[in-house]
Amino acid sequence: MESKFLGSRYEIKKLLSRGGFGTTYLAEDTQYPNNPLCVVKKLNSRIDNVNTEFLTIARRLFKKEAQTLAKLGKHDQIPRLLAFFEQEQEFYLVQEYVEGETLSHELIANQPWSQEKVTEFLKDLLSIVDFIHSNGVIHRDIKPDNLIRRKIDNKLVLVDFGTVKEVIQAQTEAISITVSVGTRGYMPTEQARGKPRYSSDIYAVGMIAIQALTGIHPLQLQEDSHGELLWLDRISYQPQLAEILTKMIRYHFKERYQSAAEILKLINHSLSENSNYSNNNKPTNQSKSLGTKLINRNNQKLQLPLKSLEISLTGLILVGITIVGIKYFPINSTAQEIKLAQQAAQSGNYRAAIELTQGLSNTPGLQQKIEFWSEQLLKEAQAKYTTKGELNTASLIIEDIIPENSSTKKSALKLLAGWRREYEYNQSILNIAQEELQQERWQNAKNEASKITGKTFFWREQANKIIQAADLGIQTQPGVVDLCSKAPDLCN
């Protein structure tokens, strides 16, 4: 039985939810004017036999998660972290209470939304997803129950970050944090295997949009032989919206959009130009035609708009009258994709260039192009890590985008292994140094910061922030230091 008071100030009013990762309560803050409501979440530590080593690791992971939540709470549509504490070897997070109803109340079976409403939903939620991804975080459980329609302004608020983890791929913890987190119907296959990607969240957003558009729960949709979901024959739709949603929920994560920002750009450019939606729930001839094209494109790398596709097909057919009838001469699709890849590379999009050439038969000069593009991608990955510390992004580029047949791959993987070792060591030192700052042990913090290794700009900057904050602390009267006001970079 839970104590009525937690952290000596939060009075529990009622149980909100209980799940595998935590228990959530509605509470009052008794030490704040007017006793405002807040949400208190107890994280399930799953500790059977508590020992010092395990508890130390658990505390470090908990503190890291709290720091992540504090950073994400700066977004207006993510609840602010108000406090975090440990009580009787259990860990608690206190967050802003958001008044409103979950999106589940709006998703009623067989009552589809208009396409205008779905488009606005995508804009609203993808802007939040873009923010959390830009901070190196995957939510991993985006679903209707974790989206609240805020009463005061009708905006969506993304909640339940209790399962959020920073995307650090090389963890050697005594306990595993790469576990399968998510909800069936909104969780793609790679996430079910415990290997979530940024595009895993994009998949979840796409599935909610399709549920809204069709009035059908994701688990009720059928799949084709390639694992792709079949939904286009259920409704009539705007072709551009159908293309966007289809790519968002592709079975393989590499075939989805790799960023929420990319989708937002497409929505703002493509959908704003065509506002002639059909809200009829019966498919039109045009939508059936497009549906067939989209469903049958599983082995294609490039999807063209319907009008462009029809024109292209017309241009590809060469008619010759012979004694046996009509002959058709298809275009050299390999040459076409190489041309498109070159255009992408010329604009600096080496990722797209590589993707377009994957699976093509080798042609003169193609391998040389792939080698050059791979070298450019490695430079991009190196810049991401050395200047911003974005290990997750660098890992994605090296492991998933630079192709196996590139001579750059081996050296890139070796470099990545070194970055991971450096990141793990430096991050552990940084955590200790930050804890020393919180305890106002200024010289200890400076000593720890001096242990941070590497010559990259990112790690030098982290060490300097600690030293700067410690120096400010030394000059301040004990017990009155507010690090966030004196050293704001530490809180960003």
Take residue 441 and report the two structure tokens written for it. Answer: 């042990």
Distance from C-alpha of 458 to C-alpha of 23, rounded to nearest angstrom: 37
Burial-class residue 330 by CB neighbours within 10 Å (0-12, 13-18, 19+): exposed
Query: 381-400 burial string, b = 16+ CB within 10 Å, else e?
Result: bbebbbeebbbbbbbbbbee
- Sorted by sequence, the CB contacts under 8 Å of residue 280 that are 6+ apart come out as 236
Q: Helix (H, G, I), strand (E, B), or coil: what is residue 429?
A: helix
Take residue 43 and report the two structure tokens written for it. Answer: 């994280």
Catalytic residue among 29, 130, 141, 201: 141
Write the CA distances from 9 to 28, 30, 34, integer angstroms: 8, 5, 13
Sign of CA dihedral 27, 21, 72, 55: positive
141 is catalytic: yes
What kind and span of H or E run contains 404? none
Q: CA angle, corner 84, sides to 79 and 85, nearest 5?
A: 160
Q: Which of 347, 320, 166, 142 is nearest to 248 (CA)?
A: 142
Q: Confirm if 19 and 29 have CB atoms less than 8 A apart.
A: no
Distance from C-alpha of 27 to C-alpha of 40, rounded to nearest angstrom: 7
Sort strands 222-223 and 165-166 into parallel, antiparallel or unpaired: unpaired
Q: What single-letter DSSP state applies at residue 323?
A: T
Q: Which residues are catalytic?
A: 141
